[in-house]
Structures are given as structure tokens and as C-alpha cells.
Structure 1
């Protein structure tokens, strides 16, 4: 690229970055405004009076019986971690099998798995509800984990297949010559080599369950079992919206994801390209 075009590239990058972070900045500043100021000047960025009542109210369940942020956070963390673990186990085994084993109908199964990604959640919610009702999984963490895994596993399986394809089969053969069985080769040789891919798929699975709203609202009925998305959405009523609580809860919900991306950025950057080529 010519040097005379570099300023244009930098300006475009800055403008795109500002456009991307503007909603997040607005959310933080709105969470620090009093309720009256939010309604009177909703588009004003800087608050005239700093107010942390939204954060205090979200973290103090005793002050408001309708707020149970700590419990919602714990529920969301449990469901997200279980979904991530289950999705990684299933997708790693499935991706490795599709990459290494030659069996009849292998590609057909792969395309069927990929086809499930084209179905919107609104089509899956009724069949999943009926299945969970028959197996008494409604209003339970395990049922929600299964529902989230149906979204995460197909994508993660195909993604990990790409990473396994990028690892030469000669490595499997060398491990076999050294006396390692198929399972030992998979766990102690192949998985460490695809660590960036595992991190990327783990983050995708975690985000899928952390931010999901529709399944959680449908399958969970007990107030104490709500996740963050359902709990924060409860502050948006038919006539009144508690914007200070809503924005404060949204900020505290987003921060763990931002921190996780910051800590894992090295693996994420390498993982997004490592499986792109064979």
C-alpha cells in the first residue's frame, strides 16, 4: 500500500472504532445519570450529575426485592461454563472424527450439522420446549445447557474440524509408532496443537449462553433461576423503564466478557486464522 494512502486508512480505522465503541460509552455514561436526567436529556452523552444508584440498587438485593443481580450472575456463570464444557467435549470429538476417520456418509453428516446453523432459534424453541417438558427438564439449568448446546455444537464442530485438518496426519502416525493409542494421541498430542482453536470455540460457546435471552425466558420460570439477560430485561416495563438499573446491569454484564477478550486476545487472534488453511 502506498504511503500517501496511509492517512486515509488511519482515519477510516479511527472512525470505525469510534462507531463501534460509541454505544458502549453511551451505556456507561447513561448508567451514571439520574433517572430524571435520562428522560429529560436521553441523547446527551456527559451526565450533569453523577449518580451510582443504579449500581447500588443492582448489587443490593435487600434494598429492592425485585433485584437479585448476584444470583442472576451466578446462574448465568453456571449455565455458561457447563455449556462451554459440554460443547467443547462434543465438538472436539466430532471434529476430530470428521477430520481423521473415513466412513460412509461422513460428508453428509457434516452438511446436516452445518444445515442446523441455518435454522433460527424461533423454530427450535417449540420442539425443544416439548422435548424438555416430556423429560422434565423445564426450569432447570441442565435443560438450558442442552438448549444452548444445540446452537453451539454444530458451529464448534465445523470450526474444530478445520483446526484438526491443519494438523498433519503424520503427527498421528508418529505418535502411533511411539506406542500411543488413538485416544492418547488425541488428548496428549492433537489437542495441545489446536489450543488456539479450542479457545476460540470456547469463547463462542460461552458468549452464546451468556448473552442468550429467548431460550432462558421460555424455559426458566422461577425468579431465583433467572439468568442475567432475563433479569435485566425485567426492568423494561410496559409503561416505565428503569434506565439507570437497566444500563448499570448491562455494564456489569458486559465487563466480564471484555475482560475475557482482553486476557485471551493472543489466542483469539491466532485461533481465528490457524484453521483457515489446511
Structure 2
């Protein structure tokens, strides 16, 4: 029994190190002076540390505007996708109507469609509607991209909540909306948090639509701004790694803000106080 436990812990540690190494490599490279990056070998622990690469990334023109643009389109798209996806998930889980299974299958197909297949029709539609170089149009596309995932995932969480809890609340005097708001919605806290994190990462990292639809440099997002470190004269690896580290901070902050709800939402609303 002890041997199995030790083996499981060792395997888990190896897997964790495997997935954590790219992040460590990014941060350690960002802290290295330019001369140490061009050596033939790679030192896991930098002998000298500098923050000049972070200064270069922070002071690179367009960083703050790209950060604001990414936050605007990502947060608005994720918030809208969560609201609409939650309503769709409740309807698909609790209601019985003609064509429900076909709609669920269509939603799954839409989720599986690659971004590249949607680029040309999206571009033509936005061009015809005169929505190119407009941040609301990009937020609308991110909303359309993340909505199937949000609805599909939240449907599974709603299915996991017994319908009897809502029925018991309605027996106690709550209406259908009151039972959903007081019982089901608090229990969906972990599902909403997990879905919002994955939707946020998807929209935050999106590059193709932002590059194709936003030609104005004042409207570019952080993934497009990051590509500016690669020029015809070479790649500034130190600045690129430092900018990538800064790029991951909003995702980390977002997760730290919402991760508490994954615990508090498990039991809230399950019993009547």
C-alpha cells in the first residue's frame, strides 16, 4: 500500500515537473542577460539575473493599449458567453422540447470546428457589416467561439444537480426562478469557475482572428503585439520571454480571483438554513 502511494506521488511529481518546465524555461530565459542566451549550452539556473528584458517588454510601444484591448474583448466575451451559455445549459438540461438532441449535437459540432475554417466567412461577414478594426466585433467573435464550449460544459454541471432539490424548494414556496437562483445557481459555482477559466484562456490566447480583423495597431491585442519581437533582423528572445511572462499574469490573476468559488460553491444552497 505504501509502495503504491509512493509510486503514485513520484509519477505525479514527474508529470507536474514536465508541464511546469516550459514555464520555468520562459521565466529563467527572461531573467538572463542577452549574452547568456546566445551560448551553445543552456543553464537551468541562471548565473546572473537581470530585469532589463522586463523593462524592454514593458516599455515596448503599444503594450498598455494591447493589454487594455485584450482585457476588454476577453472579459466582455467571457461574461456574455457565461450568461447565455448558462441559460442554454439550463434549458437543454431541464426542459424537454422537439429537436433538443439535434441542437446539442449541432452545438458539439460547432465546438469542434477549427478556427481556421471560420476565418474566411467571419472576415467576409465583418467586412460586409463594416466591422473591421472594431473591438466590439472581435469581442462578438470571441463570444461566438466560446459560447458552444460554455453551454456544453455547463449542461454537464446542471445535469449533475438533482432536480429534486429544485422541486423541494418549490414545495417550500419558491417559484421556478427562485428555486434556480437559491438552489441550483449556488451549486453551479465550481462549474461556472472552471468554465470561465477555460473560456478566458481560449479568448485570451486567440491570435488568428485578432491578426486578420484588427489592422489598426491601436486595436491589436497582446498575442498580436507579442509577434512584434520577431523582426527581419532576428528575434529578441529575452524581450519575447519577458513579454510572454507578463502575458500570463492576467490569466493567473483571474484564476486566483475565482478559484475560491470552486470550494465555496460546492455546498452552498444544498440545505435550507
**Same fold at TM > 0.5:** yes
Q: Distance in 1 between matches of 2:265 and 2:124?
A: 37
1:21 counterpart residue number? 20
Q: Distance in 2 between matches of 1:42 and 1:269?
A: 45
What does 1:151-190 correspond to in 2, within 5 Å?
Answer: 151-190=145-184
| 2:226 pairs with 1:232 | yes
What does 1:69-218 correspond to in 2, within 5 Å?
Answer: 69-218=63-212
Normalised to the residue count of structure 1, the TM-score between the two structures is 0.87
For these two proteins, the number of residue pairs brought into alignment is: 266
Q: Deviations over 1:227-275 (max 9, x none)?
A: 1111011111244001111111101111232333345445458989xxx
Question: Relative to 1, partners in 2 of residues 1:246 and 1:42: Cα closer, same or farther, differing over 3 Å?
Answer: farther
Residue 70 of structure 1 deviates from its aligned partner by 1.6
Q: Distance in 2 between matches of 1:29 and 1:221?
A: 33
Question: Relative to 1, partners in 2 of residues 1:136 and 1:179: Cα closer, same or farther, differing over 3 Å?
Answer: farther
Question: Relative to 1, partners in 2 of residues 1:128 and 1:188: Cα closer, same or farther, differing over 3 Å?
Answer: farther
Tell me, which stretches of 5 or more residues in structure 1 are unaligned? 273-278
Tell me, which stretches of 5 or more residues in structure 2 are unaligned? 267-273
Further displaced range: 46-55 or 224-233: 46-55
Normalised to the residue count of structure 2, the TM-score between the two structures is 0.89
1:276 counterpart residue number? none
Q: Distance in 1 between matches of 2:100 and 2:22?
A: 44
User: Any conservation in 2 of the 1:199–1:271 contact (CA below 8 Å)?
Assistant: no
Q: Deviations over 1:33-88 (max 9, x none)?
A: 2223212346333333322122112222xxx5xx2212211111111110111101
Q: Distance in 2 between matches of 1:240 and 1:271?
A: 49
User: Any conservation in 2 of the 1:144–1:215 contact (CA below 8 Å)?
Assistant: yes
User: Any conservation in 1 of the 2:30–2:241 contact (CA below 8 Å)?
Assistant: yes
What does 1:238-249 correspond to in 2, within 5 Å?
Answer: 238-249=232-243
Q: Distance in 1 between matches of 2:6 and 2:168?
A: 51
1:222 counterpart residue number? 216
Q: Deviations over 1:143-194 (max 9, x none)?
A: 1112112221111111111111222223333444455444444334422221
Q: Distance in 2 between matches of 1:254 and 1:200?
A: 18
Q: Distance in 1 between matches of 2:169 and 2:19?
A: 46
Residue 198 of structure 1 deviates from its aligned partner by 1.0
Q: Distance in 2 between matches of 1:270 and 1:186?
A: 17
Q: Distance in 2 between matches of 1:41 and 1:229?
A: 29
Question: Relative to 1, partners in 2 of residues 1:42 and 1:113: Cα closer, same or farther, differing over 3 Å?
Answer: farther
User: Any conservation in 1 of the 2:57–2:240 contact (CA below 8 Å)?
Assistant: no
